[in-house]
Amino acid sequence: MLGIIRQKAFGQRIRPAVSAWRGYSSAAKEMTVRDALNSALDEEMSADPKVFLMGEEVGEYQGAYKISKGLLDKYGPERVLDTPITEAGFTGIGVGAAYHGLKPVIEFMTFNFSMQAIDHIINSAAKSNYMSAGQISVPIVFRGPNGAAAGVGAQHSHCYAAWYASCPGLKVLAPYSSEDARGLLKAAIRDPDPVVFLENELLYGEAFPVSAEVLDSSFCLPIGKAKIEKEGKDVTITAFSKMVGYALKAAEILAKEGISAEVINLRSIRPLDRNTINASVRKTNRLVTVEEGFPQHGVGAEICASVVEESFGYLDAPVERIAGADVPMPYAANLERLAVPQVEDIVRAAKRACYRSV
């Protein structure tokens, strides 16, 4: 099983650029997404003895990305399980444990590797409650980094948001900030249904301001609700995970050119908050969707369909989808940069939607 060598992902060419895009003041208390996920896991494990963490390297090694740091010492090897390298094995075992009422949190080293366990996620976890007429619920969380990192090639860079979001029975969450990470992971663990929790490797080290409310152990976000990260009146930009940061950066640039963009952080890919999206489009009359995944049958395609069905008469311009190139991710840095959405792509699409010259 190919894991990700951390060298490039933690390398210097990515992080400073990402952190520069944050539009928050530095006055509030800050927390990294990694610490947000770690503290959420810690608090939920502490609150509910049925919660346990399982995956490759989650214990002794503290997680391939250190998300489970300290948890083995605190909760012991029965609740922080290092497993043999068999995704189909530990995913199936997690599903079986959930059948009997435990609340497993299954860590994939990357969601690319979840493909080796897809049968258990789709055929077992997602369908068992339905097939058993509610007799077998599957309170399980599948989590790990999803989508493009940096310099790790096709088999480490795939975004699976649209895949999992196309399957009834699953809930699919994609946090952006530390607030999202804490609130959504806690919601996922407490939820009685199977939840696919799509993190982003490049956001782990990102620090975001967090309020006292977010730091409270009772903090939890509702599943199925998007967050309007920035209000605006001229164009709606939807995004999730790392692309929310890009969209906010694009909104800053657009503001300088007199375009007021509204940025929606989807947070939940399934259920999708169609109401928030459509209400925003009815206000701005324009829509740009952003995602790192592939365009065909993507999250943007679904949002576009929803807006065409529900708010067609409000649209003043064609909807534009910004997505990853329709190719497996190339490794070479120059090609990779061309294959994933950039801030400029979003800026130009928004300007086209507003009939500005680009």
Partner 1 sequence: MAVCVRQSRNNIINLVKSKMGLLGLTNLSSSVSSLNNDHITLATASLAKDLRNESSVFENKPTLYRTRRFESTKPHQRSGVHSNGASSQFLDFPGGQVAFTPEMRFISESRKERIPCYRVLDDDGQLIQGSIDVGKEIAVKMYSDMATLQTMDTIFYEAQRQGRISFYLTTIGEEAINIASAAALTIDDFVVPQYREPGVLLWRGFTLQQFANQCFSNKGDDCRGRQMPIHYGSKKLNYFTVASTIASQLPHAVGLAYSLKMDGKDACAVTYFGDGGSSEGDFHAALNFAAVTEAPVLFICRNNGWAISTPTSDQFRSDGIVVRGEAYGVRSIRVDGNDTLALYSTVRAAREMAIREQRPILVEALTYRVGHHSTSDDSTKYRPVDEIELWRSARDPITRFRKWIESNGWWSGESESELRSNVRKQLLDAIQVAERTEKPPLVDIFTDVYDVPPSNLSEQEKGLRETIKIHPQDYPSDFPL
- Where does this chain bind partner 1 (CB under 8 A)? 1-7, 10, 52, 56-57, 59-62, 64, 66, 69, 72, 76-78, 81-86, 88-102, 104, 109, 119-120, 123-124, 128-137, 168-169, 171, 191-193, 224, 271-272, 274
The least CB distance from residue 214 to partner 1, in Å, is 25
Name the residue nearer to partner 1 (CB basis): 23 or 77: 77
The least CB distance from residue 56 to partner 1, in Å, is 7
The least CB distance from residue 324 to partner 1, in Å, is 23
DSSP structure string for 25-62:
-SSS-EEEHHHHHHHHHHHHHHH-TTEEEEETTSSTT-
Name the residue nearer to partner 1 (CB basis): 39 or 62: 62
Name the residue nearer to partner 1 (CB basis): 234 or 302: 302
Name the residue nearer to partner 1 (CB basis): 99 or 208: 99
CA distances from residue 287 to 121, 216, 266, 278 in whole angstroms, order as listed: 33, 35, 14, 10
87 is catalytic: yes
Among residues 44, 56, 87, 199, the one annotated as catalytic is 87
Using CB atoms within 10 Å of the CB of residue 293, give its burial: 0 to 12 exposed, 13 to 18 middle, 19+ buried: buried
Dist. CA 281–CA 311, nearest whole Å: 7
Name the residue nearer to partner 1 (CB basis): 166 or 342: 166
The Cα diameter of the chain in Å comes to 60
Name the residue nearer to partner 1 (CB basis): 45 or 349: 45
| Of 142, 345, 164, 143, nearest in space to 243 by CA | 345
CB neighbours of residue 339 within 10 Å: 18
Among residues 107, 156, 206, 320, the one annotated as catalytic is 156
Dist. CA 9–CA 14, nearest whole Å: 7
Contact (Cβ atoms closer than 8 angstroms) between residue 54 and residue 117 = no
CB contact set of 232 (below 8 Å; sequence gap of 6+): 251, 260, 261, 262, 263, 284
Alpha helices in the chain (DSSP H): 6-9, 15-20, 33-47, 71-75, 87-99, 118-119, 128-131, 161-165, 178-190, 212-215, 242-256, 274-284, 299-311, 333-339, 343-353
| Of 167, 141, 123, nearest in space to 302 by CA | 167
Q: Which amino acid is at 284?
A: T
156 is catalytic: yes
The least CB distance from residue 21 to partner 1, in Å, is 23
Contact (Cβ atoms closer than 8 angstroms) between residue 241 and residue 174 = yes
The least CB distance from residue 219 to partner 1, in Å, is 21
The least CB distance from residue 356 to partner 1, in Å, is 35
Residue numbers annotated as active site:
87, 156
